[in-house]
Amino acid sequence: MSLSVAMITVDTTDPVPLATWWAAQTDGSVVAENDGFFVVVTMASGTVLSFQKVDDPTPGKNRIHLDLTADDPTAEVERLVRAGATVVAERQMAGFAWVTMADPDGNEFCVSGAHEAAGN
Protein backbone atom coordinates (compact mmCIF):
# COMPACT_ATOMS: atom_id res chain seq x y z
CA MET A 1 0.00 0.00 0.00
CA SER A 2 1.20 3.52 -0.67
CA LEU A 3 -0.20 6.96 -0.09
CA SER A 4 -0.07 9.99 -2.34
CA VAL A 5 -0.62 13.57 -1.29
CA ALA A 6 -3.81 14.81 -2.95
CA MET A 7 -3.73 18.33 -1.50
CA ILE A 8 -2.48 20.34 1.44
CA THR A 9 -5.30 21.91 3.44
CA VAL A 10 -5.08 24.99 5.66
CA ASP A 11 -7.75 25.87 8.22
CA THR A 12 -8.74 29.54 8.24
CA THR A 13 -11.64 31.74 9.29
CA ASP A 14 -11.65 33.48 5.87
CA PRO A 15 -10.67 31.10 3.03
CA VAL A 16 -11.20 33.27 -0.07
CA PRO A 17 -8.67 36.06 0.65
CA LEU A 18 -6.09 33.63 2.01
CA ALA A 19 -6.43 31.31 -0.99
CA THR A 20 -6.22 34.30 -3.33
CA TRP A 21 -3.04 35.44 -1.56
CA TRP A 22 -1.42 32.00 -1.88
CA ALA A 23 -2.48 31.73 -5.53
CA ALA A 24 -0.76 35.06 -6.24
CA GLN A 25 2.40 34.04 -4.38
CA THR A 26 2.75 30.66 -6.12
CA ASP A 27 1.58 31.70 -9.58
CA GLY A 28 -1.39 29.41 -9.02
CA SER A 29 -5.09 29.70 -9.76
CA VAL A 30 -8.17 29.57 -7.58
CA VAL A 31 -10.17 26.81 -9.28
CA ALA A 32 -13.06 26.32 -6.85
CA GLU A 33 -14.57 28.55 -4.18
CA ASN A 34 -17.41 26.32 -2.92
CA ASP A 35 -19.38 29.25 -1.49
CA GLY A 36 -16.28 30.42 0.41
CA PHE A 37 -16.22 27.31 2.59
CA PHE A 38 -13.53 25.25 0.83
CA VAL A 39 -11.35 27.10 -1.67
CA VAL A 40 -8.97 25.18 -3.95
CA VAL A 41 -5.77 26.52 -5.54
CA THR A 42 -3.82 24.61 -8.18
CA MET A 43 -0.24 25.37 -9.18
CA ALA A 44 1.69 24.64 -12.37
CA SER A 45 3.71 22.04 -10.43
CA GLY A 46 0.52 20.04 -9.91
CA THR A 47 0.43 20.79 -6.18
CA VAL A 48 -3.04 21.53 -4.84
CA LEU A 49 -3.62 23.77 -1.83
CA SER A 50 -7.01 24.12 -0.19
CA PHE A 51 -8.30 26.55 2.40
CA GLN A 52 -11.11 25.33 4.64
CA LYS A 53 -13.36 27.58 6.70
CA VAL A 54 -13.34 26.84 10.42
CA ASP A 55 -14.84 28.79 13.29
CA ASP A 56 -11.68 28.61 15.39
CA PRO A 57 -8.31 27.57 13.90
CA THR A 58 -6.00 25.44 16.00
CA PRO A 59 -4.04 27.79 18.30
CA GLY A 60 -0.25 27.86 18.40
CA LYS A 61 2.30 26.74 15.82
CA ASN A 62 0.82 24.88 12.90
CA ARG A 63 1.86 21.22 12.88
CA ILE A 64 2.17 20.99 9.10
CA HIS A 65 3.77 23.71 7.03
CA LEU A 66 4.98 24.36 3.50
CA ASP A 67 8.69 24.26 2.67
CA LEU A 68 9.14 26.39 -0.43
CA THR A 69 12.25 26.86 -2.57
CA ALA A 70 13.42 29.70 -4.79
CA ASP A 71 16.39 30.32 -7.04
CA ASP A 72 16.91 33.63 -5.20
CA PRO A 73 15.48 33.14 -1.70
CA THR A 74 16.50 36.62 -0.50
CA ALA A 75 14.56 38.30 -3.30
CA GLU A 76 11.62 35.95 -2.78
CA VAL A 77 11.46 36.71 0.96
CA GLU A 78 11.50 40.44 0.17
CA ARG A 79 8.70 39.98 -2.39
CA LEU A 80 6.61 37.96 0.07
CA VAL A 81 7.02 40.63 2.76
CA ARG A 82 5.85 43.31 0.30
CA ALA A 83 2.85 41.06 -0.45
CA GLY A 84 1.86 40.84 3.23
CA ALA A 85 3.88 37.98 4.73
CA THR A 86 6.04 38.47 7.81
CA VAL A 87 9.46 37.12 8.69
CA VAL A 88 9.33 34.95 11.81
CA ALA A 89 13.03 33.98 11.94
CA GLU A 90 16.11 33.48 9.81
CA ARG A 91 17.57 30.05 10.54
CA GLN A 92 20.64 28.00 9.69
CA MET A 93 21.76 24.47 10.48
CA ALA A 94 24.72 22.48 9.11
CA GLY A 95 25.21 24.76 6.11
CA PHE A 96 21.49 24.87 5.29
CA ALA A 97 19.77 28.26 5.60
CA TRP A 98 16.09 29.10 5.44
CA VAL A 99 13.64 31.79 6.50
CA THR A 100 10.53 30.96 8.49
CA MET A 101 7.68 33.25 7.49
CA ALA A 102 3.97 33.67 8.21
CA ASP A 103 1.23 34.33 5.66
CA PRO A 104 -1.37 37.07 6.30
CA ASP A 105 -3.41 34.59 8.38
CA GLY A 106 -0.41 33.67 10.59
CA ASN A 107 0.30 30.24 9.05
CA GLU A 108 4.02 29.57 9.06
CA PHE A 109 5.98 28.42 6.01
CA CYS A 110 9.67 28.27 5.10
CA VAL A 111 11.68 29.57 2.14
CA SER A 112 15.12 28.27 1.17
CA GLY A 113 17.31 28.14 -1.89
CA ALA A 114 16.39 25.46 -4.43
CA HIS A 115 19.93 24.06 -4.39
CA GLU A 116 19.89 23.86 -0.58
CA ALA A 117 16.64 21.92 -0.45
CA ALA A 118 17.96 19.46 -3.01
CA GLY A 119 21.00 18.81 -0.85
CA ASN A 120 23.52 20.31 -3.31
> 4 and 45 share a domain?
yes
> 40 and 87 share a domain?
no
More confident residue, 26 or 6: 26
Question: Dihedral of CA 87/16/7/26: which sign?
Answer: negative
Please state, in angstroms and as integers, the Cα–Cα distance from residue 82 to each residue in 59, 104, 113, 115, following that order: 26, 11, 19, 24
Looking at 15, 32, 55, the residue that finishes a domain is: 55
Question: What pLDDT is stored for residue 118 in this prediction?
Answer: 46
> 49 and 69 share a domain?
no
Please report which helix (H) or strand (E) contains residue 26, including its range. Answer: helix 15-26
> 47 and 71 share a domain?
no
**What percentage of the chain reaches a pLDDT higher than 70?**
93
The Cα 95–Cα 80 span in angstroms is 24
When pLDDT is averaged across residues 1-10 and rounded to a whole number, the result is 79
Give me the number of domains the chain comprises.
2
> 68 and 49 share a domain?
no
Is the pTM higher than 0.85? no
Can you give the residue range of the structural domain that contains 83?
64-120
Question: Dihedral of CA 15/40/106/82: which sign?
Answer: negative
Residue 77's pLDDT band, with cuts at 50, 70 and 90, is: very high
Question: For residue range 17-28, what is the model confidence (pLDDT) as tens digits?
Answer: 999 999 999 999
For residue 10, the domain's CATH number is 3.30.720.120
Question: What pLDDT is stored for residue 3 in this prediction?
Answer: 59
> 71 and 112 share a domain?
yes
Question: What pLDDT is stored for residue 63 in this prediction?
Answer: 73
